[in-house]
Amino acid sequence: MKKLIPAYVRVPVIFFAVFMAMEYFIDSGDRPAFIKFPMVSVFLFVFLFLLIAIEITVSAVDNITYQLLTEEQKAQLNLASDLSFKDSEWYKKLMTKLTKTESLDNEDQLLLDHDYDGIKELDNNLPPWWVYLFYACIIFGVVYMVRFEVLGADNQEMELKKEVAQAKIDIAEYMKTAPDMMDEKTVTLLTDPADLAAGKEIFTTNCAACHRADGGGQIGPNLTDDQWILGGGIKNVFHTLVNGGRDGKGMISWKGTLKPKEMQKVASYILSLKGSNPPDAKAPEGEVWVEENVTVAVK
């Protein structure tokens, strides 16, 4: 018996539809689900086997049923099977409902009195889908005008501005709690001994060559007194670590080497050296810095 979609098309389409659905709904990370989870492969294999088995069974049932028909029934079935898609009864009924086409036998009733160089005009009805679409456009236009012109709803430009403003607020809130996203505006002073110990280790590895292990200063300035060239306090010291010192004679930027959290720790350690008075310290440079409204990270 004739099928609208042949089995060699139907089986692959159904199988790959199920396959793609499983890949979409099963969270398997960066690997395909059928590789990461062996049971998925087993299920797909069994599913494909069942699909083929069902097609074979249905085909066998159709053949047996066809053999049980009388010659007259076989002829009627063959005639129906030989009909093209557009000649089928259901297709004709569907197109009649969608277009409201009139039969050619009624053409004389549709002819208008107009005649343009032998071209005659028929007074056909508009297709229902076109009419309904026209009505839908009118309803949409009324709703659109009332919403945006009368009630003053946000247009696309205003919606974009609000979303951008909200995104900036969300980013600012996230940066308050994301240590590797902090900057000189959000950085806070650390006082926990473990953080200061980690900062000391970073300082010894990266900064002692210029500032001495005790912070007394060598090539770089003394970090234990009250005077600062580029400003003291956690925010200024963090800013100097991120962006580097004075052009041409200051230290390099450490943002490509240290993470923000590491620079927060080393900056906090540097500030803890204030007043330690190491021997043979370098003479003070810069201006006296007085800290105001110090923000301390609380654990």
Q: How many domains does the chain have?
A: 2
Answer whether residue 65 is part of any domain.
yes
Q: What is the mean pLDDT of the chain?
A: 84
Answer whether residue 27 is part of any domain.
yes
Domain that holds residue 258: 193-288
Tell me the average pLDDT across 144-166: 90
The domain boundary, picked from 82, 116, 144, lies at: 82
- The whole-number pLDDT of residue 85 equals 61
pLDDT digits (tens, 9 = 90+) for 10-56: 899 999 999 999 888 888 777 888 888 889 899 999 999 999 999 99
Query: What's phi and psi for 228, nearest 5 deg?
Result: -135, 140
- The whole-number pLDDT of residue 299 equals 46
Answer whether residue 103 is part of any domain.
no
Answer whether residue 211 is part of any domain.
yes
pLDDT band with cut points at 50, 70 and 90 for residue 164: very high
The domain boundary, picked from 34, 56, 82, lies at: 82
- The whole-number pLDDT of residue 65 equals 86
Q: Which CATH number is 205's domain given?
A: 1.10.760.10
pLDDT digits (tens, 9 = 90+) for 167-203: 999 887 877 666 677 788 888 899 999 999 999 999 9
Answer whether residue 207 is part of any domain.
yes
More confident residue, 291 or 128: 128
Q: Are 263 and 182 in contact (CB under 8 A)?
A: no
- The whole-number pLDDT of residue 231 equals 86
Answer whether residue 171 is part of any domain.
no
Neighbouring residues of 294: CB distance < 8 A, sequence distance ≥ 6: 189, 233, 234
- The whole-number pLDDT of residue 250 equals 75
Instruction: For CA atoms 114, 116, 118, 120, give the dihedral sign.
Output: negative
Answer whether residue 136 is part of any domain.
no
Query: What's phi and psi for 252, nearest 5 deg?
Result: -75, 165
The domain boundary, picked from 82, 113, 140, lies at: 82
Q: Report whether pLDDT(243) > 60.
A: yes
Q: Are 262 and 202 in contact (CB under 8 A)?
A: yes
Q: Report the C-alpha gap between 182 and 161 in whole angstroms.
A: 25
Question: Closest Cα partner for 227 from 283, 160, 186?
Answer: 283
Answer whether residue 29 is part of any domain.
yes
